[in-house]
Structure 1
Amino acid sequence: MATCEICNKGVSVGIKLSHSHIRTKRTWSPNLQRVKAVINGSPKRIMVCTRCLRSGKVQRAI
């Protein structure tokens, strides 16, 4: 599965619990965006989560 290239956030696994207490496995995927960012002075396409984009950890290339 894909992970954020800045914070390494990836898929987390857990259980879904219904009202009748039936437990099934499920996954939570991070909201990843393919972004053109400046890495080591040159523009590059990377997968970044929206938390990193919003907090300013990524400098976007124009």
Structure 2
Amino acid sequence: MAKCDICGKGAHFGNNVSHSHRRSNRIWNSNVQSVSVKVDGGKRKMHVCTSCLRSGKVERA
């Protein structure tokens, strides 16, 4: 899974816990998109999470 190039957000790990309290591994993936971003007057493809896109930390190219 990709990490956000802006804030570093990535996958989180934990456990599924059944009704009988048996545990198995699971993963929560962050919503990371591959987008074209304006960087230094040009455009570049980056992995950016949707919270960084919505907050305006990056500008789409």
Give the TM-score, by structure 2 length: 0.91
Q: Distance in 2 between matches of 1:17 and 1:28?
A: 14
Task: Count residues in correspondence.
Answer: 61
Q: Which residue of 2 aligns with 1:9?
A: 9
Show structure 2 runs of 5+ residues with no match.
none
CA RMSD for the aligned pairs?
Answer: 0.9
Secondary structure at the counterpart of residue 6 of structure 1: coil
Show structure 1 runs of 5+ residues with no match.
none
1:20 is displaced (CA, Å) by: 1.3
Q: Which residue of 1 aligns with 2:24?
A: 24
